[in-house]
Amino acid sequence: MTNNNQNAGDQSLLRNLNLSAVLSELRNNKLISRAALAELTGLNKATITRLVRELIDYGFVKEVGLLSTLSTGRPSILLELNPQAGFIIAARLDIDYNAVILTDFSGNIIWRNELAHTPEDGQTLILDNLLSLILAAVDQVEDESRPILGLGLSVPGLVDIDNGTLLFAPNLGWRNFSFRDWLGTHFDLPIYINNEANLAALGESFLGAARDSNYVLYINITSGVGSGIVYNKEILSGVAGIAGEVGHMTIDPHGPQCNCGNLGCWEAFVSAPAVLRRMRNRLKDGESSLITEETLKHFSKHTISKLVEAAEQGDLLSREILKETGEYIGLGLANLINVLNPERVVLGGYLSPAYPLMLEEIKNSVQARALEWAWRGADIVIAHFGSDASLMGAFTTIHDHVLSYPIETLARLGEGEQVERR
């Protein structure tokens, strides 16, 4: 009996590995023939034929046309992952807003919405807003034959990834909140939670500005500063899962006080609130600008856009503030490029609208301080998805889960299962 169970388990594991290998090659190659799948996976043609037939029957894969050849043989049928296989929900919790998207299986956004809040609104209201957005996304699904395959959530702060717990979000003042348990009381779905910078790095690595790079450093500048490091399309999390907390790297020991209590952290110079604080102080000193103190009174991700608009209209103070910020960003980046020696650096977060105006200053600052051998190999680019990169990363984690554990997902597809609200 034990041997039978073990054999069944071995067969199930082998089937999962083979299906995952096929699906991974379909993701990597977009359009591919059965013969090419056999060559790339090392599986024989009969096995490939059987696996592909199963995936087509479940709606996971579809045939999309013929590959013409110069030979007289029959042309090959091309295959691709079926965008209509199911839906994925990706959500983002941040200091000043929640956002949720519903995508198809290829990551095309079908629906998006967001709700603003402030940390002072309190945890209960912020969570209620997030839940209402997720429920609204669920309500967009009308085709009961296409299930929701999972829910990915991006959060600010330190995360216990294995348990789905937000350990500490200093800008919200939250500690030890289990998002997986909380979401699990409402939805019967695979649920994945990670830090916003890690997910943004993943989203840009698979789908955005770094999709052709193997070693990526993503810089996430929002209400704080973090980074995500991706090597060979996998997040480098560190022993405690908190690698990438670069915002608290000391730039000037005599600099302004950071939210963490220390002086001169990188975050205290380049975070969105720090940029606006410098602008506000210059206005209080009597300098003129198209920006008013009233504009800067209430912080949100949109406030930076107003600063950029003023700079583009020729506002000298706005331009000076952005130039100074670019220099500070480059100062921190020079240290990181020396230490990590990445292939590509992706700049994202709330400052995304400002990067086109700062990029030259950032690169000049890096080149003035980093080792030449390091900075020459590091391509510095602007995030493709802007402040939505973490949402695309949250999508990517669920997409990857589906491809890594296809047997679990095929069961869901086969049952035409919809989200069970608890």
CATH at residue 309 = 3.30.420.40
Summarised one tens digit per residue, pLDDT across range 387-408 is: 899 999 999 999 999 999 999 8
Contacts of 387 (CB under 8 A, 6+ apart): 222, 301, 348, 349, 350, 352
Give Cα separations from 259 to 160, 170, 271, 330 (angstroms). Answer: 22, 8, 11, 21
Within this chain, do residues 14 and 30 fall inside the same structural domain, yes or no? yes
Q: Inform me whether the pLDDT recorded for 415 exceeds 80.
A: no
Within this chain, do residues 214 and 315 fall inside the same structural domain, yes or no? yes
Cα(177)–Cα(99) distance, integer angstroms: 19
Summarised one tens digit per residue, pLDDT across range 272-324 is: 999 999 999 999 999 999 998 888 877 777 889 999 999 999 999 999 999 99
Summarised one tens digit per residue, pLDDT across range 188-226 is: 999 999 999 999 999 999 999 999 999 999 999 998 899
Mean local confidence (pLDDT), 258-282: 92
Q: Inform me whether the pLDDT recorded for 96 exceeds 50.
A: yes
Of 166, 174, 195, 194, nearest to 125 (Cα)? 174
Summarised one tens digit per residue, pLDDT across range 60-94 is: 999 987 776 655 557 789 999 999 999 999 999 99
Mean local confidence (pLDDT), 237-260: 88
User: For 196-334, where are the E strands, in sequence order?
Assistant: 215-221, 225-231, 234-235
Q: Inform me whether the pLDDT recorded for 359 exceeds 50.
A: yes
Within this chain, do residues 237 and 378 fall inside the same structural domain, yes or no? yes
| Residue 422 domain-assigned (yes or no) | no
Within this chain, do residues 6 and 123 fall inside the same structural domain, yes or no? no
Cα(54)–Cα(87) distance, integer angstroms: 20
Within this chain, do residues 222 and 367 fall inside the same structural domain, yes or no? yes
Q: Inform me whether the pLDDT recorded for 30 exceeds 60.
A: yes
Contacts of 5 (CB under 8 A, 6+ apart): none
Q: Is the pTM of this model over 0.75?
A: yes
pLDDT of residue 69: 60
Mean per-residue pLDDT of the chain = 91
Within this chain, do residues 266 and 376 fall inside the same structural domain, yes or no? yes
Within this chain, do residues 153 and 63 fall inside the same structural domain, yes or no? no
Mean local confidence (pLDDT), 404-414: 81
Within this chain, do residues 195 and 251 fall inside the same structural domain, yes or no? no
H or E element, residue 66: strand 61-67
pLDDT of residue 278: 93
| Residue 420 domain-assigned (yes or no) | no
Number of domains making up the chain: 3
| Residue 353 domain-assigned (yes or no) | yes
Cα(165)–Cα(179) distance, integer angstroms: 6
The sign one gets for the Cα dihedral 350, 351, 354, 355 is negative
Summarised one tens digit per residue, pLDDT across range 117-143 is: 998 999 999 999 999 999 999 999 987
Q: Which of 20, 50, 81 corresponds to the end of one domain?
A: 81
| Residue 291 domain-assigned (yes or no) | yes
Tokens at 181, concatenated:
């348990």
Within this chain, do residues 172 and 214 fall inside the same structural domain, yes or no? no
Give Cα separations from 63 to 2, 52, 53, 78 (angstroms). Answer: 41, 10, 10, 6
| Residue 20 domain-assigned (yes or no) | yes
Of 389, 395, 403, 95, nearest to 216 (Cα)? 389
Q: Inform me whether the pLDDT recorded for 28 exceeds 60.
A: yes
Beta pairing, strands 76-81 & 32-33: antiparallel
pLDDT of residue 1: 47
Cα(303)–Cα(280) distance, integer angstroms: 12
pLDDT of residue 320: 96
Helices marked H in 164-266: 179-184, 196-207
SS3 264: coil
Within this chain, do residues 109 and 43 fall inside the same structural domain, yes or no? no
Within this chain, do residues 130 and 190 fall inside the same structural domain, yes or no? yes
Residue 220: domain span? 210-383
Within this chain, do residues 251 and 312 fall inside the same structural domain, yes or no? yes
Of 52, 194, 26, 20, nearest to 106 (Cα)? 26
